[in-house]
Amino acid sequence: MATTTASLSINSPDISGDVIAISKNTQLKKAGVSTGLDQTSGVGKKITTATAQYTLFAQTDYEDNKAHKLYVRVASSNVTEFVTLTVGSQSVGRIYGGDFVFMPWDGTADIKLTPSVSTSLAVEYFLAFEV
């Protein structure tokens, strides 16, 4: 059984009147069972030079209604550059330079990215999935 742990820490002494200190860990598991996810896309990197939307992960390549986990990071240090993350036809949001998203994906719609610039924009990605 594969064991993959995801960790997230959010800390801010001054975002509100109270200090925020959140630190959580979880093991990535298959849907509805305690077995760990055992498949991966590997860590990949795509460099684009156009603003055309492209499919990062096609739903036809993965099982529907599973507990896949997606990581996407815009590797740019320019905070004005971003990619728009879309699942199927639903825009999820923008990932700006240096930011990342880690989210579940049920495999029922394509994962697409649309770069904001036509200059070189690098995106790192990783998918842990089940079959």
What is the pTM (predicted TM-score) of this model? 0.92
pLDDT digits over 53-105, tens only? 999 999 999 999 999 999 999 999 999 999 999 999 999 999 999 999 999 99
What values do phi and psi take at 25, rounded to 5?
Answer: -125, 150
Tokens 């996810």 found at: 37
Tokens 């998203």 found at: 101
DSSP class of 13: S
Q: Would you kindly state where each structural domain of the chain is located, as residue ranges?
A: 30-129
How distant is the alpha carbon of residue 71 from its chain centre?
Answer: 3
CATH 1.25.40.10 at 30-129, yes or no: no
| CB-based contacts of 71, cutoff 8 Å, min separation 6 | 100, 101, 102, 124, 125, 126, 127
